[in-house]
Amino acid sequence: MKIKLLMLTVAVSCAFAGNAMALTKEEYKVQNDKISAEYKVNRDKCSELKANAKDVCVSEAKGMEKVAKAELEAQYKPTPKNSEKASLAKADAAYDTSKEKCDDLAGNAKDVCVKDAKAAHVKAKEDAKVARVATDSSKDKAEKMTDVKKDASAEKREADYKAANERCDSLAGAAKDTCQNDAKAKFGMK
């Protein structure tokens, strides 16, 4: 009798635990409204700032909102595609904010900052693609995974090369040539 009661308790708690993970439509709407309200509060805090600090603050507020909404959607409708969208929202938010921060710089330092931000963005996007394919359950998953990893590696390497090459622009003459050749060799560019 005790065993049957224990098994019934476990079965009922598992059923409730499964339902606790998913959001109802009402819960989704409440969370979505909460995210929008938090965005407005964060954006309003930016009004106290000036110049680029204000731009960075607004970018961070927008980024947090986009990420929160994408994560909410992934929780409400848990699919590999929505998980990828959440990862891409994080990458885009970080990239947009990084670019705004680069505006405080000038000349080659700004160019390097932007290229570094772009390289990080490319890496995050490619990692999101790889993660989505990793959750694929089709027969040709291994083939897709190989192709996506190969493409991701090439994209990341190219973005890293562009950032490294931009650093070389602050040099002149033979030092610049050596720097560019070293970057080509390091990242396998021709």
The H-assigned helical ranges of 47-79 are 51-76
Question: Which pLDDT score is estimated for 134?
Answer: 86
Which among 85, 81, 61, 57 has a CA at the least distance from the CA of 71? Answer: 85
Which among 161, 165, 60 has a CA at the least distance from the CA of 119? Answer: 161
| pTM reported for the whole predicted model | 0.78
106: amino acid identity, one letter: A
Question: Which pLDDT score is estimated for 21?
Answer: 62
Helix (H, G, I), strand (E, B) or coil at 105: coil
Question: Which pLDDT score is estimated for 73?
Answer: 95
User: Residue 42 and residue 61: Cα distance in Å, rounded?
Assistant: 6
CB 71 within 8 Å of CB 83: no
- The predicted model gives 37-50 an average pLDDT of 95
Q: Above pLDDT 90, what percent of the chain?
A: 74
Our separate counts of H helices and E strands in the chain read 7, 0
Query: Rg of the chain's alpha carbons, rounded to an integer?
Result: 23
